[in-house]
Amino acid sequence: MKSRIFLTLTLCAWTLFTMPTAMAQSRTDLFGSPVPPGSGNRTIAITPDTRHVNIEGGEIINFTVGDKTFSWSFFVASHIRSFDLNQVAPPGMLDHKVTAYIAPDPRYWGRP
Give CA–CA dist 96/106, Å, rounded: 30
Q: Contact, 39 vs 86, CB < 8 A?
A: no
pLDDT band at 10 (very low <50, low <70, confident <90, very high): low
**Which pLDDT value is given to residue 112?**
53
Give CA–CA dist 17/74, Å, rounded: 27
For 28-81, the pLDDT digits (tens) are 889 999 999 999 999 999 999 999 999 999 999 999 999 999 999 999 988 899
- In this structure, is the dihedral angle defined by the CA atoms of residues 38, 71, 55 and 96, taken in order, positive or negative? negative
Which CATH code for domain 31-108? Answer: 2.60.40.2280
Averaged pLDDT of the chain: 84
**Which pLDDT value is given to residue 81?**
94
Give CA–CA dist 93/63, Å, rounded: 10
**Which pLDDT value is given to residue 78?**
85
**Which pLDDT value is given to residue 106?**
85
pLDDT band at 26 (very low <50, low <70, confident <90, very high): low
